[in-house]
Structure 1
Amino acid sequence: MSFEDLGLAPFLLRALAEQGYENPTPIQQQAIPLVLEGHDLLAGAQTGTGKTAAFGLPLLQHLATSAQEVRNGPRRPRALILTPTRELATQVHDSLRGYSKYLRIPSTCIYGGVGMGNQLDILRRGVDLLVACPGRLIDHLERRSIDLSGIEVLVLDEADRMLDMGFLPSIKRILAKLPKQNRQTLLFSATFADPIKQLALEFMRNPREVMVTPRNTVAETIAHRVHPVDAGRKRELLLHLLAQDSREQTLVFAKTKHGSDKLATFLDKSGIKTAAIHGNKSQSQRLRALGDFKAGRVTVLVATDIAARGIDINELPKVINYDLPMVAEDYVHRIGRTGRNGASGQAVSLVAQEDAKYLRQIVRLLDRDMDIRDVPGFEPHTPIRWGNSAPGKAEQPGGERPPRRGNGGRPGGHRDAAPGQRRGGAGAPSGAPRGENNGQRREGQPAGAARRRRGGRGRGKAPQPNSAV
């Protein structure tokens, strides 16, 4: 089945083709036709299954092809997407901007933790599409800086997570401001617990239901390694690792387009044949960079998550996360490009203190330990505070001994002693990431944080799946 078979318009198909999308995922196959037909939808799907496109593509087609109500005054939002965290909100917004490349649909993303000024300016000018976190959206409703009476499509993304974070009262306040008639509601959730079902019964009209099995699995042949490093020395450490074998093909993931270009230029000037691939590159530039990488004319390809969708290389030995992804499931997509068809592969992550929260989320998702090793000469100035539990086993600096794993040497071994029980360990309080960073939702303060001593070794335990995020 192709995207064209799903009934999507040519302007969306063109944008999808340029981003490397070829075939729809199961959730897209099931959800897109139902949403295009105008049904309310209750969908069981996690991040990583393609759910953003599952609701985003038909939503954009609706906005582009249906007439807007004529009304005097500023433009009111016609579609609202609620997400639990600002990281997810920005990712959803970026994805939808990519899908709507050949459309003129004004949109914005609002969340807490930043000033209100820019958001107020954009809302005064008017948008058709609004991606928002509940707390900050409530702030705007109280200021009367936003009018939700024109919403035609509502999406609740990761509804179960929003409820877990205590947003149910806020969601109900927001829903009370939306029109009850002629509104299509799409609810996406990893689970259908009773509160989710109750919410659906209360605010949806005869919703259709679809469910897909998440594909958050990684090959057992992939070795996961973490190198702690100060943020200011990441670039030097990356060059050091790549220089150990300048002929080894390596895919490096960076967070931003500008950062990808800067990193590629630095590596190329340092003697590593490197190309960059991201959304600001033309299709021909991306195809040329990918072709050079596959042919071995360049040995390192620096990519952003979205631009890397079309990368398919059978025997890629190594993936390096220069920047960890903000959404844990993206780690699975990144490293899935190595260790294919039974071949061994390496997934290396360079982790500074500000990345520790993302690493904890990744370990919770994978439910397996990672090998943590200092690289001689690049040890972080201050030992990284991992939070309420360490994401893996700490080895001697420099990897003087091979990484140890439980369960007979297989990845995903048994859980070891807690950090507070490690010989020579010291507790240290550590802050934790917020939900949407608006000061309203915060991860519980851990009782102590594991500190690794250089020259010592200990083994930590991966965060439990029900830990706060």
Structure 2
Amino acid sequence: MKFEKYAISEAIKKNLAQLGFKRPTDIQFKSIPPILKGEDVLAIAQTGTGKTAAFAIPMIDRIHRKKGRQRVFGITCIVLVPTRELALQIGGVFAALSKHTRVKSYPVIGGVEQDAQIARLQDGIDVLIATPGRMFDLIHQGFIRLDSLETLILDEADHMLDLGFIKDIQAVKRMLHRKHQTLFFSATINPEIKKLAFSQVKSTAIRISISPDDPVAANVSHAVLFVEMDDKRFFLERFIKEHWDSKILVFVRTRVRAERVAKAMERVGIEALTIHGEKDQEERSLVLSRFKEGTVNLLIATDVSARGIDIPDVNYVINYDLPDKAENYVHRVGRTGRGSHKGVALSFCSTEEKERLEEIRQFLNREIEVVKIGKNDYDFTLTLSSRKTGAEALIEEHEAWIRSRRRKKS
């Protein structure tokens, strides 16, 4: 069924059409009706499948209709998220979908001055998107009140619970003075966290699971290259130079690694941006903006950018370092192949990381295609279906690089 057939306001339908959204994704199709009815929902769906719109569309419609019938005061809905970048992104989705409606939304995050946020809150909003720290600061200062709250939404719910935010969630619930709706959305969830999540929703909550056996969207092709740690930067250089026009997101383990890899690329004439927790919020926002706009096509990131960030047209995700947790692989590679777009996830795996690779394979419940280097260093095979021609060129370049290194050693 197309969005134009849904029983939602015409303003929202117009906004969806302008954004190019014609039909709901599976998670949207299954989530929107129960949310409109006010039911609790716990939803698990692959990255890049439109989870934000799945809760934003019905929430905007409900608030818009209610404000058309009666005067509404105070915050009606809170969306709690684990990272600042995700809060800003969700704020953008709400802003785009609520144009020409009566709904006002606003993201509140830490790492920036609070005065502008306080002024905006005092003007009055309906939907608050927030990270827990700043939200509780403003609650304690009296600038946020939850008297009118009807819906609590957790995005990246597994990460929120895993990070220990359960006490914050319970604290919010204790502040509520009326019957309320709770929505949990995530791409991955383990049995322990699932049990914790179920304890926070009604026993009648709607449970939705889209493609539970394959947590990564089918639009993403996976490949792994076995390469020793000291050689990774050379492989990355060759790959980037074979794909100059592509947008490439590289994940590393630590902020120190991010800066080192960026400097290594810059030494060979490749401009790179970095994003990690050591940068202040203004700098992180500027980096993401430049990468999204395409002024620089290489971003090197820690897992601060692996959760929920929607960056348009990322062609490749490269796991320069394999993640410590298998589920983080899903969130990393979910930055490509979003919506109807195709993407490639390439992992560099050193000898000491092979155990992590096996954990990832088991978590995905699938094999990962392998870029093999034969015993004689010239026996190459590759099955990167989405970009085979470019990858074959990469191999030819690497073969030449091996020869040049041998000549230098001799």
Short-chain TM bin? 0.5 to 0.7
1:260 Cα deviation after fit? 3.2
The structure 1 residue matched to 2:184, chosen from 182, 187, 198, is 187
After superposition, residues 386-397 of structure 1 pair within 5 angstroms as none
Percent identity between matched residues is 28
Query: Is 1:83–2:88 an aligned residue pair?
Result: no
What is the alpha-carbon distance in structure 2 between the residues aligned to residue 17 and residue 331 of structure 1? 19
CA contact 1:328–1:362 (8 Å) conserved in 2? no
Structure 2 runs not aligned, ≥5 long = 226-235, 242-260, 273-286, 335-344, 358-369, 375-379, 385-403
CA contact 2:78–2:130 (8 Å) conserved in 1? yes
Map of 2:207 onto structure 1: 209
What is the TM-score with the length of structure 1 in the denominator? 0.53
What is the alpha-carbon distance in structure 2 between the residues aligned to residue 135 and residue 119 of structure 1? 14
Map of 1:128 onto structure 2: 126
CA contact 2:150–2:178 (8 Å) conserved in 1? no
After superposition, residues 225-244 of structure 1 pair within 5 angstroms as 225-226=239-240, 229=262, 237=270
Map of 1:31 onto structure 2: 31
Closer, same or farther: CA 86–76 of 1 in aligned 2, 3 Å: same
Higher relative contact order (Cα pairs below 8 Å, separated by 6+ residues): 2
Q: Secondary structure at the match of 1:112?
A: coil
1:164 Cα deviation after fit? 1.0
The structure 1 residue matched to 2:305, chosen from 326, 330, 342, is 326
Closer, same or farther: CA 323–15 of 1 in aligned 2, 3 Å: farther
What is the alpha-carbon distance in structure 1 between the residues aligned to residue 313 and residue 306 of structure 2? 11
1:51 Cα deviation after fit? 0.5
CA contact 2:40–2:201 (8 Å) conserved in 1? no
What is the alpha-carbon distance in structure 2 between the residues aligned to residue 366 and residue 258 of structure 1? 17
Judging by fraction of residues, say which structure has more helix.
2
1:87 Cα deviation after fit? 1.4
Map of 2:293 onto structure 1: 260
Q: Secondary structure at the match of 2:62?
A: helix
Closer, same or farther: CA 370–363 of 1 in aligned 2, 3 Å: farther
Structure 1 runs not aligned, ≥5 long = 240-253, 264-301, 303-319, 337-346, 373-387, 393-402, 413-454, 458-469
Q: Secondary structure at the match of 1:219?
A: strand
The structure 2 residue matched to 1:153, chosen from 132, 151, 154, is 151
Q: Secondary structure at the match of 1:20?
A: coil
Map of 2:19 onto structure 1: 19
CA contact 1:331–1:362 (8 Å) conserved in 2? no
Map of 2:49 onto structure 1: 49
What is the alpha-carbon distance in structure 2 between the residues aligned to residue 12 and residue 66 of structure 1? 15
RMSD: 4.5
Q: Secondary structure at the match of 1:49?
A: coil
CA contact 1:42–1:187 (8 Å) conserved in 2? yes
Q: Deviations over 1:344-379 (max 9, x none)?
A: xxx488x9xxxx9xxx9668744965469xxxxxxx
What is the TM-score with the length of structure 2 in the denominator? 0.60
CA contact 2:371–2:383 (8 Å) conserved in 1? no
* Count of aligned positions: 300
What is the alpha-carbon distance in structure 2 between the residues aligned to residue 230 and residue 112 of structure 1? 29
1:329 Cα deviation after fit? 6.3
